[in-house]
Amino acid sequence: MLQVARQIFHFSSLLGTLTSRDLKARYRGSVLGFLWSLANPLLLLAVYTFVFSVIFQPRTAGANPYALFMVCGLFPWIWLSTSLLEGTMSLIANAGLLRKAVFPAELLPMVSVLSNLVHLLLAIPIVAVALLTGRILNYPVGGLASLLLPAVILLELPMVAGLTLGLAALNVHFKDVRDLLANFLTLLFFLTPVIYPIDTLRTYPPLYWLVRLNPFTPFTLAYQTTLFKGEYPSPYLWAQMAIVSLVAWLGGSWLFDRLRETLVEAA
């Protein structure tokens, strides 16, 4: 576990260079560049907003205006899911590098996590504009509490990194991991209160607790609390995030470390 952290720290400047390489390479030759990374979330946002505020007029108590509510949870969710999906494939995709050069393998999943984090950061202005518009329209969104956003992101980072590292290492041995993950993430998207406020579930306690125990839920709640409600998360929520993040990081990097020596051979 320590080894993974030490390597990442030791190669931090290479990690930065690789991340910027990844971003540059991704958008080289494309006219709209990184704006494409916003296209999918905005499309999702438009569709769900249409469905939930025009077609259904559902119990969206505590999620009004809906588009504003959803935008707060959606971008972080996309960071999480894209990092996991890309990062899981990163070792296999770069097998050539691992086999032909002495290369710190942990950097590859980390590059996926960080370059998707950059996408999240680039989406913040959109969220900010949305929140400001909300405030002008007299909704109680945003405010001072939203300045806690970086803290929540920083707290989520070890979780995303740990999960990505562990899944990437597993995927080298089990190619099923990626397909499992892709399907699991689809399911999890609906088990995380991104497109509905968790309070709507209170009338169905089993479902409520299922969603509440989902390790991604505390983070989504924290984003919604700080950004949408403009409130400070409870110490209880902070503690949950910290514990989930710590456990995921330790578990993921432990797994990576155990499998490290087999990666070059099996990738």
Nearer to other proteins by Cβ, of 160 and 177: the residue is: 177
Residue 138 binds other proteins (CB under 8 A): no
- Residues of this chain, 158-177, that bind other proteins according to CB under 8 A: 170, 173-174
Contact with other proteins (CB under 8 A): which of 61, 100, 138, 203? 100
Q: What 8-state DSSP symbol labels residue 166?
A: H
Q: What 8-state DSSP symbol labels residue 147?
A: G
Residue 6 binds other proteins (CB under 8 A): no
What is the number of other CB atoms lying within 10 angstroms of the CB of residue 184?
Answer: 13
CA distance 141 to 58: 21
Contact with other proteins (CB under 8 A): which of 215, 232, 247, 260? 260
> Distance between terminal CA atoms of the chain?
21
Count the residues in the chain.
Answer: 267
Residue 9 binds other proteins (CB under 8 A): no
Binding segment (CB under 8 A) for other proteins, from list 23-31, 112-120, 222-230, 234-242: 23-31
Contact with other proteins (CB under 8 A): which of 1, 5, 11, 85? 11
Least distance from other proteins to the Cβ atom of residue 169, Å: 9
Nearer to other proteins by Cβ, of 21 and 59: the residue is: 21
Residue-by-residue DSSP string for 26-51: HHTT-SSGGGHHHHHHHHHHHHHHHI
What is the phi/psi pair of residue 220, to 5°?
-60, -45
152 is written with which tokens?
Answer: 């929540």
The amino acid occupying position 85 is L
- What is the binding site for other proteins (CB under 8 A)? 11, 13-14, 17-18, 21, 24-25, 28-29, 96-103, 170, 173-174, 255, 258-262, 264-266
